[in-house]
């Protein structure tokens, strides 16, 4: 069990030295040598062209499960700030850790991240593992996965939670595969039953809610949908222990190079799942061009435009705008549904919004069952009137 250099195969090329984020490999007498601080993260194995590194991690069946303690979260950043979903994860992790009598750990990777520690500690985090390096400023699957895998192998958390965002959905399976543990994707509920993490998620097209457990593997790992967990009020008097992990990333050994980042939204624009106001259009919008009236309204009230799947499938909006079971879950202060019937698959993505306004010509549309305010009428008449009135009133302030 562990890691071994096959001396006959090693050429001393040094690629593994560059690839090791923990600076745990040296070249001695033209052969690679593994140092005691190796975490078994596997970055060297992936880069070695000569199959000269043998890595054997503990199999799930060989693990002493009692050694695994604490509930960890992966903290996702948006540019230089912590994404709201990370606070949701921290709040949930705190609740779970209290039930288990364990600590909450958070991992923050990035360029300069120490100044963010107090922000996440305020949500109940006890220990924060930070790794700072300019090559971690941009998310990079192999660097992030290597470091996180190494940290998990070293510190043995009981549970690791990731956001079910694009980043989390890319990172978590990599780490789970490296650790040979299961991963429950897209959870909408988490609780503890008989000491195990009960991971709840929709299954069979949303017709049932499945409760999933990982009784024999550690850590228990899950990705959690943004906007489904409540965020507790921060307590700025809380402080966390900070453990700085020295990392060394040689750009020459990076297996993935990010050449260009093309943003689909302007910098500073709120994303759909973080917006306070969402105005969504459905099949009732009739065409892509007609969404202009929703964009105008969004501009007036500083909202973001979303869509039902019917509107997305019709090609009127990009897939990233879809709200619902197979799209995004949103939880804004105000959700305005225009020409959306409110089928269950749409409702699951927006029903936790604080206030819901529905505009629909059909008084029997199910969206009215969950709306706080329902307007039975033609959206092409109602939305421009609403926009004009709001403009008049907002200009008075
Ligand atoms: C596995 C699975 C996953 C799914 N995931 C999602 C998902 O993530 N998100 C999602 O949205 N759906 C999802 N669906 C699809 C969902 O079941 C519905 O088909 C879809 O939500 C319907 O979209 P809609 O309300 O826009 O269209 P419709 O159901 O056709 O409703 C259109 C509404 O517009 C109203 N209307 C028409 N003209 C006007 C007008 N001029 N003014 C006002 N009202 C008007 C009509 O009265 C009607 O109520 C999923 C389905 C499955 C099976």
Residues 315 and 390 occupy one common structural domain: yes
Contact 91, 232 (CB under 8 A): yes
Please identify, among 41, 56, 71, the residue that sits at the C-terminal boundary of a domain. 56
Residues 9 and 98 occupy one common structural domain: no
Q: Is residue 1 over pLDDT 80?
A: no
Q: Is residue 335 over pLDDT 80?
A: yes
- Residue 303 inside a domain? The answer is yes
Mean pLDDT of 178-189: 94
Residues 172 and 310 occupy one common structural domain: no
Label the pairing between strands 373-376 and 31-34. Answer: unpaired
Whether ligand 1 lies within 6 angstroms of the CB of 363 is answered as no
Containing domain of residue 8, as a range? 2-56
The 10s digit of each residue's pLDDT in 59-111 is: 777 788 899 999 999 999 988 899 999 999 999 999 999 999 999 999 999 99
Q: Whose CA is nearest to atom 9 of ligand 1?
A: 324
Residues 66 and 84 occupy one common structural domain: yes
- Residue 259 inside a domain? The answer is no
The 10s digit of each residue's pLDDT in 74-88 is: 999 988 899 999 999
- SS3 at position 154: helix
Whether ligand 1 lies within 6 angstroms of the CB of 280 is answered as no
What CATH number has the domain bearing residue 24? 3.30.70.20
- Residue 261 inside a domain? The answer is no
Residues 301 and 243 occupy one common structural domain: no
The 10s digit of each residue's pLDDT in 224-277 is: 999 899 899 999 999 999 999 999 988 888 878 888 888 766 555 678 988 999
Which of ligand 1's atoms lies nearest the C-alpha of 282?
Answer: 26
Centroid of ligand 1 to alpha carbon of 286 (angstroms): 12
Residues 144 and 177 occupy one common structural domain: yes
- Residue 262 inside a domain? The answer is no
Rg (C-alpha) for the chain, rounded Å, is: 24
Mean pLDDT of 345-362: 95
Domain count, the chain: 3
Q: Is residue 113 over pLDDT 60?
A: yes
Mean pLDDT of 144-157: 96
Q: Ligand 1: which of 186, 318, 324 to mutate, most ligand atoms within 8 Å of CB?
A: 324
What percent of the chain clears pLDDT 70, i.e. is strictly above it? 97
Residues 9 and 87 occupy one common structural domain: no
Question: Tokens 């079971």 sit at which residue?
Answer: 325
Q: Which long-range contacts (CB under 8 A, 24 or more apart) does 99-103 make?
A: 99/192, 100/71, 100/158, 100/192, 100/195, 102/69, 102/70, 102/71, 102/158, 103/69, 103/70, 103/71, 103/127
- Residue 18 inside a domain? The answer is yes
Q: Is residue 205 over pLDDT 80?
A: no
């Amino acid at each position: 069990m562990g890691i071994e250099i096959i001396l006959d195969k090693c050429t001393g090329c040094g690629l593994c030295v560059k690839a090791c984020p923990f600076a745990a490999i040296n070249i001695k007498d033209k052969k690679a040598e593994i140092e005691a601080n190796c975490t078994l993260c596997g970055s060297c194995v992936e880069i070695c062209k000569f199959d000269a590194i043998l890595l054997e991690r503990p199999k799930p069946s060989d693990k002493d499960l009692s050694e695994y303690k604490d509930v960890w979260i992966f903290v996702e950043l948006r540019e230089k700030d912590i994404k709201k979903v990370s606070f949701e994860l921290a709040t949930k992790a705190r609740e779970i850790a209290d039930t288990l009598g364990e600590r909450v750990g958070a991992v923050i990777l990035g360029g300069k991240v120490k100044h963010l520690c107090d922000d996440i500690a305020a949500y109940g985090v006890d220990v924060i593992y930070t790794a700072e390096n300019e090559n971690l400023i941009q998310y990079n699957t192999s660097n992030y996965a290597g470091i996180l895998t190494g940290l998990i192998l070293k510190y043995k958390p009981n549970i690791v939670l990731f956001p079910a965002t694009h980043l989390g959905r890319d990172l978590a399976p990599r780490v789970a595969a490296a650790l040979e543990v299961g991963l429950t994707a897209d959870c909408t509920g988490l609780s503890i039953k008989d000491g195990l993490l009960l991971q709840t998620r929709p299954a069979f097209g949303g017709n049932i809610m499945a409760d999933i457990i990982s009784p024999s593997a550690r850590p228990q790992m899950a990705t959690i949908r943004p906007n489904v967990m409540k965020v507790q009020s921060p307590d700025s008097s809380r402080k966390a222990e900070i453990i700085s992990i020295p990392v060394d990333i040689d750009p020459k050994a990076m297996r993935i190079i990010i050449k260009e980042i093309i943003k689909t939204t302007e910098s500073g624009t709120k994303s759909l799942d973080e917006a306070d106001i969402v105005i969504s259009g459905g099949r009732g919008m009739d065409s892509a061009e007609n969404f202009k009236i929703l964009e105008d309204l969004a501009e007036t009230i500083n909202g973001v435009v979303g869509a039902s799947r019917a509107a997305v499938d019709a090609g009127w909006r990009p897939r990233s705008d879809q709200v619902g079971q197979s799209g995004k879950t949103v939880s804004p202060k105000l959700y305005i549904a225009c020409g959306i019937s409110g089928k269950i698959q749409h409702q699951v993505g927006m029903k936790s919004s604080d206030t819901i306004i529905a505009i629909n010509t059909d008084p029997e549309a199910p969206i009215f069952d969950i709306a706080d305010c329902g307007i039975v009428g033609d959206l092409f008449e109602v939305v421009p009137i609403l926009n004009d009135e709001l403009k008049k009133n907002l200009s008075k302030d």
